[in-house]
Amino acid sequence: MSSLASVDPQLAELIKAEERRQADTVKLIASENYVSKAVLEATGTVLTNK
């Protein structure tokens, strides 16, 4: 199985940049919610195929 970085390096870099932006930015909208790394990892599994 190929990783995203090997299939589409530009998209992989955009995702990394968005992860950095979210980590470095103060959330000013009360309804805005970022999921934990554990949730992100779980949603990137075969369980999303169901």
Q: What is the pLDDT of residue 1?
A: 52
Distance between CA 42 and CA 3 in Å, rounded?
16
Q: How many contiguous H segments (helices) and E segments (strands) does the chain have?
A: 3, 0
Contacts of 6 (CB under 8 A, 6+ apart): none
What average pLDDT values come out for the chain (50 residues) when binned by 10 residues?
A: 87 95 87 88 86
pTM: 0.71
pLDDT at 8: 96
